[in-house]
Structure 1
Amino acid sequence: MKTKISFQDVVKTFPLKGAEFTALNGVSLDIADQEFVTVVGPSGCGKSTLMSMAAGLQEPTSGRVLVDGEPVTGPGPDRGVIFQQYALFPWLTVRQNVEFGLRIASLPAGERRRRADRAIALVGLDDFADALPKTLSGGMKQRCAIARAYAVDPLVLLMDEPFGALDALTRVQLQDQLLATWSREKRTVLFITHDVDEAVYLAGRVVVMAAGPGRVHRVIDVDLPYPRTEEIRLSAEFRRIRNAVWTSVHHQETTAPVT
């Protein structure tokens, strides 16, 4: 399968008190078209910086970030970005929030409505299309944010801790819904998380980052079938992979890098 996102020997530095802080050092990683990849690692390992460069919100100090073989030079409609904070406009309804990017793109009103309603249906908010954000739960607000990203029909979804602020039950429900939507739409997903269980449950591969400076420590295949179910989450094989990821994240000083 062809490569969709490619990080090629990426280095990212920031000025810090007259010196230089290296957030990422020599990161190389290829993500295939339609692949679901999660990234975990300790705080300060550069997970969010990696995603921001794929989104075109930051530039690498050296190295290259490519999407479909073309260098990323800025944000674009081919990449939908979803953050932990919903960033919804409180005075707009769910449908109006979902239509916002389409309005910026100057799509006709009928096409905006068609795309927005399809995206809203994908995330199960049909009955709340005319509701204001203040009437929605945290999980529903995040679903609205996901629908807004889907509406512009991106080829890639870049998700930075999108479920991090939600309660455990809502988080599991949105994980299942995200996987169901991904199974139908088959977009390429790069998903950043601190939660090892979430990383394993969602992904075909888990990328474990190391800090000081940020780099790829290990890439672990998740040989579990889709669709993922509660039975899979409770299985011995899930626990085995989860333990391998946990050990790689929390005991990096005693674990040799493996790719």
Structure 2
Amino acid sequence: MAPKIVFDKVTRRFDLKDNAFVALDRLSLDIADGEFVTVVGPSGCGKSTALNIAAGLLKPSEGTVLVDGKAVEGPGPERGMIFQQYALFPWLTVRQNVEFGLRIKGEEASRRRQIAERFIDLVGLGDFADALPKTLSGGMKQRCAIARAYAVDPSILLMDEPFGALDALTRVQLQDQLLDTWSRERRTVMFITHDVDEAVYLANRVIVMAARPGRLKEIIDVGLPYPRTEEIRLSAEFMSIRNRVWQAVYHQ
């Protein structure tokens, strides 16, 4: 089976005042259909740059990103993007935010509502469908953003530190929520994080990046079963993989 996402020798340079800064250097990586991949590495290693190129928000200076065998030329509906900041429309309710992409796609009102309610329930916001974002906690806003991304039926989710601004307890709860949603919907996920524990807990594979210039350092398989549980998080197997990732990230 062909990979879902292919980074083929992708380089990205940014022109600074006196010279060019190489943010990403000849990154080659395949991500399988339905795979959950996390990407970790020190600041400046090109994690978000790679994600933004896959999203079509940046163009590579050299190389190509392929999705389903086709070169990425810009944003597309098959790729849902979720940012660290919630990016909800503050004047729209939870339901209206989740319906927004469906409205752009031209779905009729009854169909929009049916789809929105499904994903609002899936992320546990059924009691808050008519609430405005200002009345929601940070974790609830991020769940709304995840529901909105899922509603337009992307085959790929690109997530840039989506839980980075949350407190530790909410973060763990949303990790479990995300894995539960992923296990039911089985989209391909590329998830950027600075948190080594989070990277191991979520992923099939952890991609470790090296900095300046940003490049692939190591790929670490996570042979832990799903569903992931608190028992797994406390297991010796988890700690062994976590320590390997930690060494790869912080001893460069």
Q: Which residue of 1 aligns with 2:147?
A: 147
Amino acid of the residue matched to residue 233 of structure 1?
A: R
CA distance in 2, matches of 1:74, 1:112: 25
Task: Give unpaired runs (5+ residues) of structure 1.
Answer: 253-259
CA distance in 2, matches of 1:249, 1:62: 26
CA distance in 2, matches of 1:117, 1:47: 33
Amino acid of the residue matched to residue 74 of structure 2?
A: G
Q: Which residue of 2 aligns with 1:256?
A: none
1:93, distance to aligned residue in structure 2 (A):
0.5
Amino acid of the residue matched to residue 223 of structure 1?
A: G
Q: Which residue of 2 aligns with 1:100?
A: 100
1:18, distance to aligned residue in structure 2 (A):
2.9
1:107, distance to aligned residue in structure 2 (A):
1.3
1:125-140 correspondence runs (5 A): 125-140=125-140
Task: Spell out, residue by residue over 1:205-225, the C-alpha distance to the aligned partner (whole angstroms, 9 max, x if none).
Answer: 000000010000000000100
CA distance in 2, matches of 1:134, 1:2: 43
Q: What is the aligned-residue RMSD (CA, Å)?
A: 0.7
1:129, distance to aligned residue in structure 2 (A):
0.4
CA distance in 1, matches of 2:29, 2:98: 32
Amino acid of the residue matched to residue 54 of structure 2?
A: A
Q: Which residue of 1 aligns with 2:222?
A: 222
1:4, distance to aligned residue in structure 2 (A):
0.3
Say if 2:118 is the partner of 1:114.
no
Q: Which residue of 2 aligns with 1:79?
A: 79
What TM-score do the two structures reach when normalised by structure 1?
A: 0.96
Task: Give unpaired runs (5+ residues) of structure 2.
Answer: none
Say if 2:216 is the partner of 1:240.
no
1:1-259 correspondence runs (5 A): 1-252=1-252
Task: Spell out, residue by residue over 1:51-105, the C-alpha distance to the aligned partner (whole angstroms, 9 max, x if none).
Answer: 0011000010010000000000000110000000001111110000111111112
Work out the percentage of aligned pairs sharing the same amino acid. 75
1:157, distance to aligned residue in structure 2 (A):
0.3
